Chain A
Amino acid sequence: MSNKFFLTALCLSIMVIAESIWSANYLSAAGKIQIKTPLAIIPTPQATLSLESQNTTAKIGEDFETSIVVDPGVRPFQAVDANIFFDKDKLQVKEIIPTVTEEGAQYPQNTFDNVKGRLGVSLLLFNQPLAGKTAIAKVIFTPIAQGEATVNFDFLLGGKNDSNVVLYKEAVDSLGKVANLTLTVLP
């Protein structure tokens, strides 16, 4: 008895489901409703920019070196903009040294402004993209005042006119995360 009831209910359920599908298709084909297909999955920006240094302390007047490092993730990158704010009251940039020497590597931006507390490094790879974690430049700071000094990337997720990482054969910003630097300046 219960088996018969179950089978009947199963058949009726299948028919209801089939009719529901038919109904939706019928209305869609007639232009009465729109069946939305799932959106294409947009890849999350995976690249990172970081400021890496051996120490997080420095003495006033003693030069301090940090590297601007890009990690593009699993795919190679072809261009980087690293725009950085630094605490101008505690640090001054002495020099920016490009560190990518591959043929076709160009630095259209390699500038700093110790009055505004800004520096910018852009790398374009004309010949071959680079894979893996890569230091694109060294920045030599001279600490000028005691205290905590911040060095932060200008970065807003999805922003186009801040720091960017562009992967090979793409033209979108794949920068998803930055690692900033806090330096303790000692007397």
Chain B
Amino acid sequence: MVLGLLIIIIPVATFLVAQKLPVMPQVFVEYPADSASPSHSPSISPSPSASVSPGLTIKATFQGLPIEFKNAIAVTLSAKNTDWTKVFTLNSDGTFTSLDLTGLDTTKTYDFILWGHPFLQVKKTIDLSKNPQTVDFGELKTGDLDKSNQVNSLDWSLMVQNYQVDNSSNE
């Protein structure tokens, strides 16, 4: 008796469920537009002019990277123990000017961490109350392929898999 009922109920229920449920992708809320992103999310500024207020100038160089590609690396600058993070690219002279410090307390000292793949991160402690104009992070050392902030056998093992591979056959 129960089985007989199930035989009738299953196709009917399937039909009703199919009518009621939305298609899967509609279940998820769409990503908010960039302008609606929370303030602590990384903000990508395609050029220095995108910054909204005068601020710090950041300087860095990248080990092994030809000078003409300095501005090809997206770097992430974060203040340790805060949600403040900025993502940007350096100019061809190795600087990023007018870094927007909105969200940080300009009377405090922060540990700023600069990182870009595949380079080791560099930390600089900066006292914003002294109104610094430029922070030079020096040369970021290369080789951290797996973003562990250490160059070791795992990075080498990644690299050695592609040794002498030039992808010329794909051009």
Contacts and interface: CB of A to CB of B under 8 A. Distances in A.
B8 to A, nearest CB: 10
A169 B153 contact: no
Interface string A22-47: 11001100111110000000000000
B64 to A, nearest CB: 17
Interface string B142-153: 000010111011
Interface in B11-50: 11, 13-14, 17-18, 21-25
B165 interface: no
Contacts of A169: 161
A131 B17 CA distance: 57
Interface stretch (A13-21, A48-56, A85-93): A13-21
Contact of B146 (A15, A33, A124, A160): A160
A19 B11 contact: yes
Interface stretch (A59-67, A75-83, A143-151): A75-83
Given A13-B3, A78-B157, A79-B157, A20 B10 contact: yes
B154 A172 contact: yes
B11 A79 contact: no
A122 B153 CA distance: 7
A169 B149 CA distance: 22
Contacts of A108: 156
Contacts of A142: none
A171 B7 CA distance: 53
A33 B14 CA distance: 11
B158 interface: yes
A78 B4 CA distance: 63
B24 A31 contact: yes
A9 interface: yes
The interface size bin for chain B is 20 to 34
B6 interface: yes
- Greatest chain A CB density within 10 A among B3, B148, B149 is at B3
Interface of A: 9, 12-13, 15-16, 19-20, 22-23, 26-27, 30-34, 78-81, 108-109, 122-124, 126, 160-161, 164, 166, 169-173
Contacts of B161: 169, 171
17 contacts: A16-B6, A19-B7, A23-B13, A30-B18, A30-B23, A32-B17, A32-B21, A32-B23, A78-B160, A79-B153, A79-B156, A81-B152, A124-B153, A126-B160, A160-B150, A166-B157, A171-B157
Contact of A16 (B3, B17, B25): B3
A100 to B, nearest CB: 14
A102 B21 CA distance: 64
Contact of A12 (B3, B13, B157): B3
A107 B78 CA distance: 34
Interface string B83-101: 0000000000000000000
A26 B18 contact: yes
B10 A23 contact: yes
